[in-house]
Structure 1
């Protein structure tokens, strides 16, 4: 545990970390290892596990030739995440950002 009361248990992207905020038990994302800023992920570890499992089960989010489905796929995932944890889609949170990226086609699984 660091002095901020966070226990880091995962990584996100190149520099980010996923952690449990000890006092509240909520899951947060730190954009950089040294960052004092955190973004909300989930209300607790169980909700995080449910959201991760559901997101993995939905992948791939769209298939080749479904460029018109990017927004729909993101909307479907948003609905699912909101049912699993009503805090998951917090502004600037990990899940909201992932869904925004899906809506832009960032998770297309085909070669250009």
Structure 2
């Protein structure tokens, strides 16, 4: 399901690729609760664990999920290849670019990239 790793003294809850998708705000709250209980400051979730609606901005699922992470003070890293999703949506491409400029939500290709950003 998940494991807690230290990346440059930052506790990161890394979710495995296998498992139920994050398809609702409640699913996000379950992830947040687990991460908080383990003492994580960041959560790394494989892109494939998100329901397809997460990558369709008009569904507002991404905004709702990210807002929950903000409210609970946890960073969120969406890890994996999302080029197909980005190719289908200029809005998503812009959203990802803006998130990656910030310090709370990042869309990254792999855990090595997350570890580098947490330096």
Name the TM-score, length of structure 2 as normaliser: 0.27
Structure having greater relative contact order (Cα 8 Å, sep ≥ 6) = 2
The structure whose Rg is larger is 1
